């Protein structure tokens, strides 16, 4: 009986949510839309922002050669708005580029290893 009680307590503890720890930024989604000769990117990020000391603070559009084609600086934490989407217009994509990478950064850990590839719909 005692073993069964211990097993139940163990199962109950396993079902408790893990504490939120603000780690790397996750790029949940990203889209590219042509607007004249330039492109508008909309990027959805997920990050356990804790406030000014630790929040997702930037995302970038990266070309195939590693060149930064555009970047959106995020000027404040989004503690109560997760995930959140922000856009960037006026990004020039060189002719012949078929894919770009979106990468993001947080103010504590720097650039996240998580990346998101977008095929440019031409």
Among 45-49, 51-55, 79-83, 95-99, the minimum mean pLDDT is found in: 79-83
The answer to whether the CB of 120 falls within 8 A of the CB of 93 is yes
Mean pLDDT rounded to a whole number for the chain: 82
Q: Which domains does the chain have, with CATH numbers?
A: 20-119 (2.60.40.150)
User: How many other C-beta atoms are found inside a 10 Å radius of the C-beta of residue 70?
Assistant: 21
Distance CA 98, CA 73 (A): 25
Q: Is residue 46 classed as helix, strand or coil in its secondary structure? A: strand
CA dihedral of residues 101, 65, 113, 116 (deg, nearest 10): 10
Distance CA 63, CA 100 (A): 5
- Output the furthest CA–CA distance in the chain (Å, rounded): 72
* Residue 10 confidence class, pLDDT cut points 50, 70, 90: very low
């Amino acid at each position: 009986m005692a073993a069964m009680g211990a097993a139940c307590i163990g199962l109950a503890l396993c079902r408790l949510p893990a504490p939120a720890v603000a780690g790397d930024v996750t790029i949940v989604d990203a889209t590219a839309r042509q607007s004249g000769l330039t492109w508008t990117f909309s990027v959805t990020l997920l990050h356990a922002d804790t406030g000014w000391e630790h929040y997702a603070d930037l995302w970038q559009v990266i070309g195939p050669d590693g060149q930064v084609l555009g970047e959106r600086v995020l000027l404040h934490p989004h503690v109560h708005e997760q995930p959140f989407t922000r856009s960037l217009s006026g990004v020039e994509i060189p002719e012949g580029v078929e894919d770009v990478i979106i990468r993001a950064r947080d103010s504590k850990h720097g650039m996240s290893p998580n990346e998101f590839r977008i095929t440019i719909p031409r």
